[in-house]
Structure 1
Amino acid sequence: MRDFSLSDVRLFTKAAQLGGLTPAADALSVPKASASRQLQRLEAMVGHQLLHRGSARFALTEEGREFLVAAQHVLTVLDDVMVSLSSGGGTVAGRLRVIAPQYYGRDLLAMHLPQFMSTYPQLEVAVETGNDLDELSRGEVDVAIRRGREGCDEMVARHLMDEPMVLCAAPSYLASRLAIEKVSDFASHAFLVSESEGRKKEISLPTIGETHRLSVESVFQSDDQELILKLTLAAKGIGMLPLSLAQSHIDSGALGPVLPSLNLSPQEINLVYLPSRRHSPKIKIFVDYVVNIFKQP
């Protein structure tokens, strides 16, 4: 088997990133006339067509999408090593891409990233909000902060914290409904929950030692916990929220705890990354930095 040309692989991944061979050739300073030949040479090596020909817009074939994932992993690892070696192992540089849920991305990381960036001025940090693990799997993101471990079986997961959860509602919402004294009273109420906890008109309430599965009046789902907070404050239902997000509103009286004796299970917060990236200097220093932050009181 012949060796792949690294320049051909890099051209292909750049074309996938930019949406065409021409912008990829321009970005890599490759003559446009040779870009097509490089792609054909790569396809011959792979044994499959990687791009659809004659399409009105740039599109990868199924084999092209599969090859892209592997190619991005290889190039990212090589780039990490090259940056590390060129700096003599003493300077961390390059671009670090982080994805986090909105609340943790904005409110928790924002307090600590300036110090991290000052410590490593040659490292460019980009934080995106979201929960899409596919971006991590494709190598488009270096590190992700995740609620729970669902979908993370093949990832390295570093535990950051257990976030206490609380059921709460606006006083005006509670005043217009039947009093809640036991779990069965939830049947006549509307719930506002994160994406993984509710389904249509059914809800799971995980508590210490038991999970209650209930039929309720309605369930609104969103992975944006700040949106759930806003709807809860607007008296649209009972919100299931991180205590740290709801605490100030509970203290002010804008929200009231609902059946606090239920003792909801805390939400596990993890930092995850691909096993193949565990030796990347930029990932290692970021992971250690964030883990140490969450260890502090």
Structure 2
Amino acid sequence: MSVDRYKAMEVFNRVVELGSFTAAATALHMPKARVTTTVQELEAHLGVRLLNRTTRRLSLTDDGALYHQRALAMLQDMGELEGALRRSVATPAGRLRVDVPAAVGRHVVSPALPEFFKRYPDMVLELGSSDRPVDLVAEGVDCVIRGGLLHDETLVARPLGRLKVVTCAAPSYLAQYGTPKTLEDLEQHRFVNFHSAKTGKIFPFEFSKNGELRQINRPHWVTCNDADSHMGAVLAGLGLAQPPLTRRTCALLESGALVRVLPDWQPEDLPMVVMYPRNRHLTAKVRAFADWVAEVFKAEFAAGAKLYPQ
């Protein structure tokens, strides 16, 4: 049903309720001629006469009575639906399926969920934590959180911010292999790499200084596609790494469990985004979650900026 038909239905029902084109025009704040034309166009569209018109009164035809009864029920249903949607915008409710990287789910999202449910007590969250590619439409997932530059025209990406990245290693590794002072020193070092769970691509180490960007690819000793496994390998002394400066990484650096190296060469920041299907309406539930998780990530971004302002 087009918008014009819906409006015509409203006009017709108001004419029937008030028993007059003039009264309906006044109630609808429309010219009387427009009300009359609207009903005539509706009758022409349906191919039946809805009203018997005399100089004294209006009366419904049999077809008009049937149409009025059905139209009234439809308008009431539409009113209830619109009311429910307006209430859902004010207080989002219902099931929301979200997928996040495993480490983000474990260390960032899950610890903050009590506050989420205080804010949205009628929400039911189904949280998937994995680093594998997710087909949002096929798997019925409402939105995902991902890190890095992602190119998928089927998805809309809302930026959450950018995490600083640090080059670091465990003290045990540096004690065995020494601390690199220049990029050339890296030729003598081992890397703990990270690779894409989707393509298997190994991400190079990146360094930036005074506008100069350098990428270094070294044969890896170990590579991971899970942030926690990656951090575990670094803490075990297996090599240099470039993890994002989350609050967890900051705590490890401040405690001495990790040591920053090559401070003059800053790795590229890691953009974080929340994504949902382009052809799917941004529901109140997704909007509420995206707004909330953006607030949660502010603490992650602030931790890195505080520890290393540059």
Matches within 5 A, 1:1-297: 87=84, 89-91=86-88, 92-196=92-196, 203-207=204-208, 209-244=211-246, 245-295=248-298
Mean Cα deviation higher: 183-192 or 208-217: 208-217
Task: Give the greater-gyration-radius structure (CA).
Answer: 2
Asked whether the equivalents of residues 156 and 272 of structure 1 are also in contact (C-alpha less than 8 Å), the reply is yes
Secondary structure at the counterpart of residue 158 of structure 1: strand
Asked whether the equivalents of residues 187 and 215 of structure 1 are also in contact (C-alpha less than 8 Å), the reply is no
Secondary structure at the counterpart of residue 172 of structure 1: helix
Could you list the runs of 5+ residues in structure 2 that have no partner in the other structure?
1-77, 303-310
For 1:234, the aligned partner's letter is: A
- How far apart are residue 196 of structure 1 and its match? 4.5
User: In structure 2, how many angstroms separate the alpha carbons of the residues matched to 1:295 and 1:234?
Assistant: 29
- How far apart are residue 170 of structure 1 and its match? 1.4
Asked whether the equivalents of residues 157 and 275 of structure 2 are also in contact (C-alpha less than 8 Å), the reply is yes
Secondary structure at the counterpart of residue 283 of structure 1: helix
- How far apart are residue 179 of structure 1 and its match? 4.0
- How far apart are residue 234 of structure 1 and its match? 0.7
Change beyond 3 A, Cα 1:139–1:155: same
User: In structure 2, how many angstroms separate the alpha carbons of the residues matched to 1:217 and 1:195?
Assistant: 13
- How far apart are residue 95 of structure 1 and its match? 1.3
For 2:143, the aligned partner's letter is: V
User: In structure 1, how many angstroms separate the alpha carbons of the residues matched to 2:123 and 2:201?
Assistant: 41
- How far apart are residue 232 of structure 1 and its match? 0.9
Secondary structure at the counterpart of residue 231 of structure 1: helix
Asked whether the equivalents of residues 152 and 272 of structure 1 are also in contact (C-alpha less than 8 Å), the reply is no
Root mean square deviation of aligned Cα: 2.9
Asked whether the equivalents of residues 154 and 279 of structure 2 are also in contact (C-alpha less than 8 Å), the reply is no
* TM superposition score normalised by structure 2: 0.61
* TM superposition score normalised by structure 1: 0.63
- How far apart are residue 125 of structure 1 and its match? 0.3
Change beyond 3 A, Cα 1:212–1:108: same
- How far apart are residue 123 of structure 1 and its match? 2.0
Aligned equivalent of 2:45: none
Mean Cα deviation higher: 166-175 or 244-253: 244-253
Asked whether the equivalents of residues 164 and 267 of structure 1 are also in contact (C-alpha less than 8 Å), the reply is yes
Change beyond 3 A, Cα 1:228–1:279: closer
Asked whether the equivalents of residues 165 and 240 of structure 1 are also in contact (C-alpha less than 8 Å), the reply is yes
For 1:160, the aligned partner's letter is: L
User: In structure 2, how many angstroms separate the alpha carbons of the residues matched to 1:147 and 1:233?
Assistant: 22
For 2:273, the aligned partner's letter is: N
Change beyond 3 A, Cα 1:137–1:211: farther
User: In structure 2, how many angstroms separate the alpha carbons of the residues matched to 1:220 and 1:211?
Assistant: 24
For 1:220, the aligned partner's letter is: V
- How far apart are residue 140 of structure 1 and its match? 2.2
Secondary structure at the counterpart of residue 151 of structure 2: coil
For 1:105, the aligned partner's letter is: G
Secondary structure at the counterpart of residue 286 of structure 1: helix
Change beyond 3 A, Cα 1:124–1:251: same
Q: Count residues with an aligned counterpart.
A: 215
Change beyond 3 A, Cα 1:99–1:210: farther
- How far apart are residue 189 of structure 1 and its match? 1.6
Could you list the runs of 5+ residues in structure 1 that have no partner in the other structure?
1-80
- Once the two structures are aligned, what percentage of the paired residues are identical? 28
Change beyond 3 A, Cα 1:175–1:276: same
